[in-house]
Amino acid sequence: MSGQSTGNPLAHAIELARETVPPMHPAGRPFVFGGLAATLLLRRLWKPLGVAGALTTAATAAFFREPKRVPPPRENVAIASADGLVSLIEEAVPPPELGLPAQPRMRVSVFLSVFDVHVQRTPAAGVVEKVAYRPGKFLSADLDKASEDNERNSVLLRTVDGHELVVVQIAGLVARRIRCDVAEGEKVPAGQTYGIIRFGSRVDLYLPPGSRVLVAKGQRTVGGETVLAELPPLGEG
């Protein structure tokens, strides 16, 4: 069992550290390694600069953290794809590049500050049917028009129950890089990390008709764990 004493104090301390300090997403390694190299160079020039470099590198590593999450054992629900603040709950048409009917669906938008975990997780178990990237602007991600105007990457997911879920990574005022690590035809479990947006962003989740939203505007979400909505019974979506 995780966290049990192994009888070796050093091994136990290492195990506790692994459980306490979240691992880093691979996208952060070039930034952290570069920061470490810069820190060593700055320290040779002037020790206070080295301290500043070390703090900046630590902050960068924290930004790219990927904590372990446990999806709720509930069926027919959509869970949050990101940590952050529910900024909008409204009906909207999914991104046109996915080729879906231009009919409004309930959309739940989660805004991520630079202090939030920035990896994105799958909202349900299913199959990735389509991935579509679209370049765009870099408006503040908390604005309504960010969903339409900003750079984005959209994923159409078909759940094991046959529902369509659309999750969209949206770049923000500071975020300038969207990474998506799933491909069309790939099977994914609920809560799996599938991408990351670097430095402030937003994630939209479009729900099938008949879904019941279970969060409120202003509520904080935990990616991979918070249940955003109950999906409709089979045959009603």
- Catalytic positions are 201
Whole-angstrom Cα distance, residue 25 to residue 194?
Answer: 11
* Angle, in degrees to the nearest 10, between helices 47-63 and 29-45: 170
**Other CB atoms closer than 10 Å to residue 57's CB: what's the count?**
19
CA distance 65 to 40: 23
Exposure of 86 in the CB half-sphere (CA atoms within 13 A)? 21
